[in-house]
Chains A and B, each alone.
Chain A
């Protein structure tokens, strides 16, 4: 082995040190600095909602619950006065639960079919699901507006919300089936065969062998569907007429236009209130959800 002189060693060490420094500079510039605005925004949301005044954006001054008054007392948006925020929250909950229920019911069966059964056009159907991505949602929005008008669901209060549930679930079922198919794919065939050989019907196999195994997947899908219904903005914004049928995202949308500069505190509080379910679900089921957000569009 060739001897390395003392000087050479020092030089190499220095070079390695410089490399390490450059490496961390890259990490900081690329991965940390761009995050500062995002962190600041979240800090602000929390700080602002509980304090009467914030200095320098994120340093709270004076703890108060004044901003959370909308939970128990009336507030105004434009000309409309709401008794408190709960009716709107219930609308949102109704929408989110409807979407989640419908989506899970249909996509878990569809996912099973896509994963296990060999029916004609299976590949074609899967290609179709991927190809749906090529269709911009805006075309659906326009056409569905016409259809809602045609079947008389436009501007009909809760019936419109029901229409939106159907639409939203219909739009998301292809992707949800796709994700559930992934979960089904992970279950070995042998399990199912064993049950079939022992004389189970296909339906019974699905119900008592497969379903328990994919329960985590189904749970994840339902949370995912719930959150996406909870946060749905465009459909409600476009189709719902009448302030009492708004959901939280639309309410917040109009509140921003009205209250910014005037009452950041209340805006932040409403915003935080609305984000609570997302935060809870996300922190508890992070791993599973991540897998879906990752796949999000796929798998």
Chain B
């Protein structure tokens, strides 16, 4: 089963990446994987690396921006967040309530999350109402938050940031809870303020969880596109063949989504496989690198705090 779902497809993708498979020779290919109608070629990779595809450089830019910003939210905003929730808030019930609230975006089924965002930023929605209440004149507001760049791109980061923040929060909160209270009490008795405790005790102890979250989320983010597809696709009711058009206008085509849309909007299966292979290579390099610096054993125990 694992072979069916993982290994087979993997080899197939590598093979596909070197072919010119597209709609016109698709049926022949299904009949016979080695049909002469499908040619082995390096053209796909030339298209990617020598920018023969005019759109690929923009996709790369969007992806870097997306991964970088969401990563900052996931790793660093989540750090402040979990210190605030797990340490500053002493009331256990309130702390629990905040934690569950932060988990909501992750627990909610993706499509409902997409529905709620679609409402929130629609002209009928809350966002415009709130902004108008705050006294921002109507003509300053973009006509469509989902389609007007750069708002759409900022939105893309925020929408994914909410989901990612909870991952960091969970890992950090577990780590903060596992810090021996003696350490913190000793510092407090010696006259340290809670900020000093946070800065000089908690954050240094969280070094390892921070690295773990950053490493893990880099991989996840590079490969993620489903939330973007749901929010932006649903807004236009786009079928798989219309996805590329929508995300192109909004400027939210991240690398993985571009691979998806090349396959299912443009029917360029060979090219799409090649695009996604780039991600595989980057991912593999990173994970080998992580195994090297973290060691396998430590990667297994994400929330350990070293005292």
Contacts and interface: CB of A to CB of B under 8 A. Distances in A.
A169 B1 contact: yes
B162 A38 contact: yes
A286 B103 CA distance: 11
Nearest to A103: B1
A264 B124 contact: yes
Interface stretch (B48-56, B64-72, B179-187, B282-290): B282-290
Contacts of B236: 257
Contacts of A127: 291, 296
B12 A143 contact: yes
A238 B6 contact: no
A144 B11 CA distance: 11
A182 B27 CA distance: 45
Contacts, number: 256
B194 A139 contact: no
B252 to A, nearest CB: 15
Contact of B109 (A41, A230, A257): A230
B106 A293 contact: yes
B84 A26 contact: yes
User: Interface on chain B toward A: helix, strand, loop, or mixed SS?
Assistant: helix
A44 B115 CA distance: 11
A286 B97 CA distance: 13
A233 to B, nearest CB: 6
Interface in A23-40: 23-24, 26-27, 30-32, 34-35, 37-40
Nearest to A150: B30
Residue in A19, A22, A294 whose Cβ sees the most chain B Cβ within 10 Å: A294
Sort chain B's interface into a size bin: 35 or more
A293 B169 CA distance: 12
B122 A135 contact: no
Interface stretch (A2-10, A66-74, A81-89, A248-256): A248-256
Contacts of A94: none
Interface in B255-304: 256-257, 259-260, 263-264, 269, 272-273, 276-277, 279-280, 283-284, 286-287, 291, 296, 299-300, 302
B5 to A, nearest CB: 3
A171 interface: yes
A170 interface: yes
B98 interface: yes
B145 interface: no
Given A145-B263, A149-B30, A258 B237 contact: yes
A170 B2 contact: yes
A210 interface: no
Contacts of A254: 234, 237
Interface residues of A, number: 85
A141 B261 CA distance: 11
B244 interface: no
Interface string B84-124: 11001100000000101111111111111011111110111
Contacts of B276: 136, 138-139, 142
A294 B116 CA distance: 24
A212 B8 CA distance: 35
Given A44-B116, A293-B106, A298-B302, A166 B5 contact: yes
B286 A234 contact: no
Contacts of A27: 84-85, 88-89
A136 B122 CA distance: 31
B88 A142 contact: no
Nearest to B262: A142
B78 to A, nearest CB: 10
A38 B80 contact: no
Nearest to A136: B223
A260 interface: yes
Contacts of A238: 240, 264
Interface stretch (B135-143, B199-207, B214-222): B214-222
A64 interface: no
B5 A31 contact: no
Nearest to A272: B112
Contacts of B29: 146
A161 interface: no
Contact of A275 (B84, B112, B162, B216): B112
Nearest to A144: B9
Contact of B116 (A41, A169, A237, A253): A41
Contacts of A132: 6
B84 A140 contact: no
Given A19-B194, A139-B9, A267 B115 contact: yes
Nearest to A254: B237
A106 B89 contact: no
Nearest to B259: A138
25 contacts: A27-B88, A30-B84, A38-B101, A40-B120, A44-B119, A44-B126, A130-B296, A139-B276, A139-B280, A146-B12, A146-B16, A171-B5, A173-B1, A173-B5, A238-B264, A249-B109, A253-B234, A253-B237, A256-B235, A257-B237, A274-B109, A275-B108, A275-B109, A278-B108, A293-B107
Closest 9 CB pairs of A and B: A257-B237, A170-B5, A136-B223, A143-B9, A134-B283, A231-B109, A41-B116, A256-B234, A143-B12
Given A41-B116, A134-B287, 5 more contacts: A24-B88, A35-B102, A136-B283, A141-B260, A257-B237
